[in-house]
Structure formats: structure tokens, C-alpha cells
Structure 1
């Protein structure tokens, strides 16, 4: 990683990612207020968040493809600004349909950070430290989301937080463009680093034939599969938990938001810890990264259901806040171990010129569950209520049902454990051959 400019580039990238992601949780603490203002149902409210998440996920394929053929630094700045301008304008909407439209436009920009940011991280960190690099950026995602949650929960009106969350990137994005370093593609790979440092260039470019072959990689397919079910709980819980606490526990909006904040901090810490733990177990045993991730997801699911079922009082005492914090830090953090380990594995089983696109497709598939979660949660609440359950039970059962989707996710990780070491070794062999070709023939372009 080395020089000061590289470190400063990483810091700027992480800060931009944090503020861009702050937009994600600006709505959920205010669901009840917005539903009253616009006269809409839970399903309609959930649709707003679903549109945002779905758009940001689908557009990542385009951003990912562009990042594999263009200058990533410039593309990221464009993406950040495309996201922050409509985020700022959301504060001034006057109807439900205007809100829906602004969230759609914001999602287009937010979708840039995953494929472009992950592609940059892959080349900024060497392979054995890549889990740490992804832990940094995903921790930034988490803290950004928490920041948005705090300002949305503490400010009385739901509109000003959109201004507060968007303004910092109007400064950071131009600064990143002027100062940040664009790493060479493949620079983070051990087998390529030596030849790149000698002045050779990794000029292998993305081609659709290569992309098609990459989806014949079994590890990619398994990672996509675990994400389909593993993100449903996030879509249900993160978007409906505050409303659940308001409706079922009688909490005020700020109290409910602080409960979500504590749970969110625990998952952010889990993302950071998960990257380091995954790296550690990967060094200790073949497939160790997958073993620890699958186990953590299952245990974290049990801890989550425990929080949903426990009858938290409307006002927590100091002891109550401490107990909730300790419980969350010990157990709830486990459920977020998947994030950095998923991205580390994808970077290991795909060639450098393919990663942006593969990350883009991964983000689309990985966010199907998260995109459906808010709508699915709202639909479940209305369906259970119409079936005769009380409003409180409808909210409670909806969150429990959403959490159970982590079970198939954890089981897929047992399969990943067996498969991904083989795919990783195959990629390493390809890179070794390419390093020899680069040295033997100078600059070489394979399309």
C-alpha cells in the first residue's frame, strides 16, 4: 500500500462511501410520519425503499462494466454526484410520487460505489490483506448508514436529513478526483506485482466471452445463491425495525432509532471483525473463511430473533441500554461476518479485468432480497393484520419470518467451503502464466 497518496486515496474513498450510504436509512425512522403525511399504507411505504434498493442494485451491472473498461476514479466521482443531487432534492418533494422518483434517481448514483469501490480496493490491497480492505469500506458503509439513521431519528422533520447527508460529498467528490490515485489493474496480485513494478502493464481487458466464462465458476454461483436469501432479513429488519418498536413496544421515534443504532453499530463492528477473522481462519485452514462465515450467520440469526421476541420496555433504564449494547456486541455482530468475506472470495476467484462486472452482477443478485425486503415486510404486516392478528403481532411475526431466511444462507456456506479453494487456485495459475507472458513479450493486450 505504501505511499502517502495511496493512503489518502483510501481515506477519501472510505469517506465518500460512508456519506453516500448515509442516504440508505434516512427514511425508515420516519416511516410512520411519512405514511401519515402522504396518506399511504405500509406496502406503499415499503415500495419507496424497494425502488431505491432495486435501482441501486440493477444499475451496478452498468457501473461495473464501465469500471472494467474506463477510468474508475472519474466514474466514481460521476456516480457519487448523480446520487447526491437527487438526495438533496428529496428534502423538497410535495407528493408520494415525487418521493418515489427522487429515490429512484438517488439509487442510480448509489449503485456506483459497490462495483467501482470494490474494484479499486482489490488493486489497493494485496491479496492476503484484501479482507481487511473490504472490511474498511464495508465498515464505512455501516457507519454511513448509522449516521443517516441518527440524523433521521433525532431531527423532528423527515426532510432536513436529506440535505445534511448529501452536502459532504459535494466537497469530497471533487477532492477525490483531484488528489486520489488510480491504482494499476492487477496491482494487488502477488504474481503480477513484481512485473508491474518493473514498468510492465496489465493490459488484459474485459470481454463478454470472459464474463460468460466467469459465470461458469461454481463459487460465483454459490455466492450469488447465498445472497438471494441472506439479504431478505436485512431488507425487512433494517427498514421496519423502528416502526416495529414504535407500534409493539410503544417507544418514541428517537428511542426506537437509538435501539436500531446500537444494533447497527454491532453489525458494523461485525463487518470489521469479520474481515480480520476471515483472513485469520483462511490462513489456518483450507476454506476456513467460509466455515466461520456460515456459523456466524446462523448464530447471529438466533440472536436477532431473541431481540425481536424480548419485551423491551418503552423507556430503557441505563442497565437496559448497557445490557442491549453488550448483547448486540457479543452476538448480533456475527450476522454481518458475510460482507467482507464474500467480497474477498469474489476477488480471489475472478480475474482482475472481470471483477468490476462480476461485483456488479453480484450486487444485483445480492440485493434482490434486500430490495424485496421493505415491500415484503410491508406486505406481510398488512396480510397478517388482515388475517386477524393484532397490529403488534403482525409487525412481530413479519420480522421473525424475515429473519428465518438466514437459515438457507448459512447452509450454502458449507458448499462454498468445499468449492472456492479450487476456483481460487485455478485463477492463481492463470495469473502466473500471464505474468510470464507480460515479461516475455512486453506489453501485451488480450481482448
Structure 2
């Protein structure tokens, strides 16, 4: 690597600014997305809401986010992306502030919908900008890094709510992230966004000559995006594959808290449940780190390998996920060699929480296997996540990427939103949260089939995109040469005209010569 480059990437340091800023933006917005979950109990007490309605604000958040992602994504591919991302960032910042000031349950729902509208912008615009900043053979790695940040962000959002909420009220984390968002929005004014298609191999010559890729999306292109087989397979599989993850993220902490750790002191019960649920996220982070870069390595050998890797990983994740669930058992406080005080004071919460975690692993060895199998399962489950965005970006034309990601996000968010809307019906139907989580693994089967189909179509779609870009490059270069010849002819004519004024009118001579130059 040359001077001014990182060892692990070909991207120059000066070109990292938009990537870092967009990642920060996504980090904060995703933290906001799941921050309400641990505060359901507090919200239920404050607004006197039935338990069956607690997930409604988040369900509307997800559905509104999905709907607006499609609108934002289309205009991302059509007009200035800087304006779009500014508008979206303002929307979810305002939504978070409104959430913090909610005085009733109805206002909470409206504020979450506003936040969802903003998040629907940040995702497609962010992915579009990042894809134009990253070479094709590094996309899995960078999108895997983004998935890691998203996972950490989920954890940060829930941790802020779990640990600061009981002390400073559930509203404080929303105030905190609103302030951070305002700073990021301010910095956006000073960051240059890369041109569309800047890192495409077929368009490198245009970039080197400072020629802009002029193509933008039209309404007629929407059908062509859906007709592309790889896009269609990945969009549909996103609906199915998000269902088990949604149920796990939204209900594992609550399930542990209410049904398995219910004998623990109330001051540390939620925090302990959050940590046991969050430990599985470590595997997801490791999986994205390893499998995203493996996806790039395999892509350089064969451009179909990203889809093959994703399909294989999803197949492997199912048995480990099931084993992890089967290893969860209720914890009896009498089995723990800890003498709890009648009331645990705030300074002692961390002490008793970690003592409890240590005792659970000691007295209940099944939780060690819960952790091991859970880590392995979440490592494999990260394979499709790390590679799907790279695949859909790879097969899409530069002016289609925001919209393609929006369709992917729409499918995913609709799956997530519908899951949340019917979650309590499923709990009633199946008898428990545990049974619902176990049942959800069925939805990975159609997702696996669709990934296998994508391995058969991705090669043809990549070749078709490459051919279109090569033809457009030739047209752009011919237009440039033609325009250059016209300008040269005009310059020569002005030089010839200037000869007649070289002695008689010096000012006219200088003006014509300057125009010619």
C-alpha cells in the first residue's frame, strides 16, 4: 500500500470522512431504534398501557421507517444526496426530542413515527454514499463493519435505557442522543459526498478525468430493479430472515427477566437479563468481523462466493440457535451463594449484578453451553447480514443503489413490523415467548432457499451491469471528446479574431485571448 493508505483498505485517508460520518449517523439512529424496549415496564406504569399494546410504538416506528425508506431511497438516486440525508437526520432528531417530551401514550406513538421517518432516510442514503466510497472487492468488509456498529449501537441503545433509565428516567437517553445528533447534523454541512459510481471499475476513467456520471433513476427503472432476479431473491428473503432476529432482540431480555430470572432482586433483575441476552451479540460482532472479510476474499476468487457463503452460514445457524434456546432454565435464588440485602442501593448494583452472573454460571453450567452455542449460532447468523448489502450493491447500477437498498429495507422492516404487531397474538397462540422464539426458526428455511437461488442468478446480473456501465463510459468519453473539439474550434476562432485587434484595440485583444484560453 502507498503512503496515506490504511493497510487493510485501498481507500485514501482523505476519502474516509464521508464514510465515518455516515457510520456515526447510522450508529446514533439505530441506537434510537431499539432504545425504548427495556423501558416498556416504566412506560406501562407511567401511561397505564396494557401489556398487549406496549410494542405498538416500536411497530409503527418500524413500518413508517420502511415506507419512508422507499421514498427517500428513490430521491437519493435522483437528486443531491446531501440534502436528503440532512432532511432525514433532522426528522429523527426532532422525533427523539419529541419522544423525550411525550406526555401521553398517543404522543409517544407519534414521536416514534417521526423518528422512523428519519431513520428511513438515513439507511438508503447512508448505504448509497458508502457504496460509492468503497471498491467492490472491499464492500463485504465495510458493510460487515457497519453491521458490527449497528449491533453495538443496538446494545448501546438498550444499555442506555436499561442502566440510565432506572436512575435518570426512561426519557434521559433520548435527550442524550438528540444532543449527539445535532452535532452530527452540523458537521454534515462541511463534508463532501462522493459522486455516484466513483469506485466502479468500469467508470474509473471518468473519475480520473473529473467527469461526472450523469445518469439518475426514473420511475420506469423501479420495475427493472424488481425484475432483476438477484434483487428479487434478496428482497424477499429479508422479510423471512428478519423474523427470528426480531423476536430474539425484542423478547429475549423480557423473557429472561420475567420468566427465568424472576427470583432475582428487582434492582438487578433487568440488568442481569440484559447482559445474558447481550452476550449473544458478541458472536454476532465476531461473525461480522470474520465473515465479511472472508466474503471479500472469496469474492476476489469468484464473484458468486458472497451468496454461497451467506447461504451456508444461514444453514449452519439454525441448529445452534435451537440448542441455545433449549439450554435456558429458571434460576432459583436459593441456589446462589449470595446474601442479598433487603434493598440494593444504587452504588452496590454493579457489585451484586456481577456476583449474580458469576454464581449463575457456577451453579447452572447449562448457561455456559448457552453462551457457547449462542456465540457459534450468532457468528453464523452474521454471514448473510455481512454480505447481502454488498451483493445487492454489486448487481445494482449506481443510480439504482439507494432505491435497491430501500426495497431491501422495506421488506426487512415490514417483516419486523408485522412480527411486532402480531407478537402478542403469537404468544397467546403458542403459549409462551419461548415457544414463539422456537417457532420463529421455521422462517429461516425459505430464506435459505432464496439465497441458494441468488447464487445462480448473481453472475448474470453482475455481467449485465458491467456491460451497461462499459457502454455508458464509452458514450460519456465520446461526448467529452466531441465537446472538447467544439471548445477547441471556438478557442481557435477567438485567437484568429484577436489578431485583428493586436495593435488597434489592446483591451479587445486581451478579452478575446482570455476567452480563448
TM-score for the superposition, normalised by structure 2: 0.80
Q: Where does 1:115-264 land on structure 2 (aligned, <5 Å)?
A: 115-155=124-164, 156=166, 157-178=169-190, 180-251=191-262, 252-264=269-281
Note if contact 1:281-1:289 (Cα within 8 Å) is conserved in structure 2: yes
Q: Give the whole-Å Cα distance in 2 for the aligned partners of 1:443 and 1:229.
A: 50
Q: Measured at CA, do residues 300 and 427 of structure 1 come closer, stay the same or move farther in structure 2, by a change above 3 Å?
A: same
Q: Residue in 2 aligned with 1:334?
A: 380
- CA distances 1:308-340 after superposition (whole Å, capped 9, x unpaired): 221245443264677655444333221122123
Deviation, 1:234, is 2.2
Q: Measured at CA, do residues 301 and 81 of structure 1 come closer, stay the same or move farther in structure 2, by a change above 3 Å?
A: farther
Q: Residue in 1 aligned with 2:358?
A: 317
Q: Measured at CA, do residues 79 and 336 of structure 1 come closer, stay the same or move farther in structure 2, by a change above 3 Å?
A: same
1:41 aligns with 2:50: yes
Q: Measured at CA, do residues 38 and 404 of structure 1 come closer, stay the same or move farther in structure 2, by a change above 3 Å?
A: farther
Deviation, 1:302, is 2.4
Deviation, 1:210, is 2.3
Q: Give the whole-Å Cα distance in 2 for the aligned partners of 1:130 and 1:164.
A: 32
Q: Measured at CA, do residues 328 and 285 of structure 1 come closer, stay the same or move farther in structure 2, by a change above 3 Å?
A: same
Q: Give the whole-Å Cα distance in 1 for the aligned partners of 2:64 and 2:257.
A: 29
Q: Residue in 2 aligned with 1:66?
A: 75
Deviation, 1:282, is 2.4
Q: Give the whole-Å Cα distance in 2 for the aligned partners of 1:339 and 1:54.
A: 20
Deviation, 1:35, is 2.8
1:419 aligns with 2:457: yes
Q: Give the whole-Å Cα distance in 2 for the aligned partners of 1:159 and 1:304.
A: 34
Q: Measured at CA, do residues 283 and 3 of structure 1 come closer, stay the same or move farther in structure 2, by a change above 3 Å?
A: closer
Q: Residue in 2 aligned with 1:367?
A: 413
Q: Measured at CA, do residues 254 and 46 of structure 1 come closer, stay the same or move farther in structure 2, by a change above 3 Å?
A: same
Q: Give the whole-Å Cα distance in 2 for the aligned partners of 1:342 and 1:234.
A: 16
Q: Measured at CA, do residues 36 and 383 of structure 1 come closer, stay the same or move farther in structure 2, by a change above 3 Å?
A: farther
Q: Which structure has more RCO (C-alpha within 8 Å, separation ≥ 6)?
A: 1
Aligned length in residues: 436
Between Structure 1 and Structure 2, whose CA radius of gyration is higher?
A: 2
1:381 to 419, 423, 427: 427
Q: Give the whole-Å Cα distance in 2 for the aligned partners of 1:400 and 1:324.
A: 15
- CA distances 1:241-295 after superposition (whole Å, capped 9, x unpaired): 1111112202511111112222223223323333212222223345221122112
Q: Give the whole-Å Cα distance in 2 for the aligned partners of 1:196 and 1:290.
A: 29
1:53 aligns with 2:53: no
Q: Give the whole-Å Cα distance in 1 for the aligned partners of 2:40 and 2:286.
A: 26
Q: Residue in 1 aligned with 2:324?
A: 307
Note if contact 1:235-1:372 (Cα within 8 Å) is conserved in structure 2: no
Deviation, 1:431, is 0.9
Name the SS of the counterpart of 1:186 in structure 2: coil
1:13 to 15, 22, 28: 22
Higher deviation after alignment, 54-63 or 84-93: 84-93
TM-score for the superposition, normalised by structure 1: 0.92
- CA distances 1:103-122 after superposition (whole Å, capped 9, x unpaired): 11110011112110111011
Deviation, 1:198, is 1.0
Deviation, 1:2, is 4.2
Moved over 6 A (4+): none
1:404 aligns with 2:442: yes
Q: Measured at CA, do residues 334 and 41 of structure 1 come closer, stay the same or move farther in structure 2, by a change above 3 Å?
A: farther
Q: Give the whole-Å Cα distance in 2 for the aligned partners of 1:206 and 1:82.
A: 24
Q: Residue in 2 aligned with 1:436?
A: 474
Deviation, 1:143, is 1.6
Q: Give the whole-Å Cα distance in 1 for the aligned partners of 2:226 and 2:427.
A: 37
Query: Over the residues paired in the alignment, what is the CA RMSD in angstroms?
Result: 2.2
Note if contact 2:327-2:370 (Cα within 8 Å) is conserved in structure 1: no
